Amino acid sequence: MSSKQPKYEYVSTAKLPTRMGDFKIHGFVEASGQEHVALSYGEWKEDDVVPIRIHSECLTGDSLFSTRCDCGFQLEKAMQNIVDNGHGVLLYLRQEGRGIGLLNKIRAYNLQDSGMDTVEANEHLGFDADLRSYDICKLMLDTLNVKHVELMTNNPKKLAALKALGIDVVARKPIDHGITKDNKNYLKTKTEKLGHAFDPHVFK
């Protein structure tokens, strides 16, 4: 028998009451020690199409109410959409700053304050524009018995990543929410350079 440590592992589940409704929180860990969680709401059968959101951690937007991105707005909107739908899953992945980490994100913000866009700033620091991985999503969804999904995202790369993992993505649902004067240029850059799909009204 191989003693090789599994790449990803499910840890535990607990109740998580929130302002939006009563979720369950499910813990997962990578062999590297990086921890991720999934939030589930309601019940479903194996053949049901389940609304999901893959949300990458953003301390500044999710917890500190920053308006220079749309992350916190999208997190709240996705959770509310799941509750309104009656069931669904939010996968919360610990990959801050599109994978460069919190302190490097602050360095990138400093460069953006000087005139660079978000892609230029990441590349100036020596990183690719987007370093995120979605491989753990397969284990998370399998653990929660989710086989068919409606994906809430503006990022077609997430859709392609799930399909490559063998997950049946039935539909993509846009999640344009939280557009502010502080993040319009950021969203425009994500559209033009990273392929995100936003309604054109966002930039008017």
Tens digit of each residue's pLDDT (9 = 90 or more) over 126-154: 999 889 999 999 999 999 999 999 999 98
Residue 147's alpha-carbon distances to 27, 42, 50, 164, in angstroms, are: 19, 16, 8, 14
Q: Which of 84, 77, 13 is nearest to 42 (CA)?
A: 84
128 noted as active-site residue: no
Residue 4 falls inside a structural domain? no
Residue 191 falls inside a structural domain? yes
Asked if residue 108 and residue 136 are part of one domain, the reply reads: no
130 noted as active-site residue: yes
Asked if residue 22 and residue 119 are part of one domain, the reply reads: no
Asked if residue 160 and residue 103 are part of one domain, the reply reads: no
Residue 152 falls inside a structural domain? yes
Boundaries of domain holding 89:
16-95+132-197
Residue 158 falls inside a structural domain? yes
Tell me the whole-structure pTM to 2 decimals: 0.90
Residue 185 falls inside a structural domain? yes
Q: Which of 131, 84, 112 is nearest to 189 (CA)?
A: 112
Asked if residue 153 and residue 120 are part of one domain, the reply reads: no
Element (H, E) at 178: none
Q: How many separate domains does the chain show?
A: 2
Q: What is the pLDDT of residue 1?
A: 41
Domain termination site, one of 112, 130, 148: 130
Tell me the C-alpha distance between 87 and 40, whole Å. Answer: 7
Asked if residue 152 and residue 117 are part of one domain, the reply reads: no
Residue 6 falls inside a structural domain? no
Catalytic annotation, pick one of 68, 132, 168, 176: 132
Annotated binding site: 53-58, 69, 71, 74, 96-98, 118, 153, 158
Residue 153 falls inside a structural domain? yes
Q: Which of 118, 136, 117 is nearest to 30 (CA)?
A: 136
Q: What is the pLDDT of residue 4?
A: 60
Annotated binding site for Zn(2+): 58, 69, 71
Q: pLDDT tens string for the chain (204 positions)?
A: 445 656 889 999 999 999 999 999 999 999 889 999 999 999 999 999 999 999 999 999 999 999 999 999 999 999 999 999 999 999 999 999 999 999 999 999 999 999 999 999 999 999 998 899 999 999 999 999 999 999 999 888 899 999 999 999 999 998 876 788 888 777 777 777 676 776 655 555
Asked if residue 78 and residue 21 are part of one domain, the reply reads: yes
What confidence tens digit (pLDDT) does each residue in 93-103 have? 999 999 999 99
Annotated binding site for GTP: 53-57, 74, 96-98, 118, 153, 158
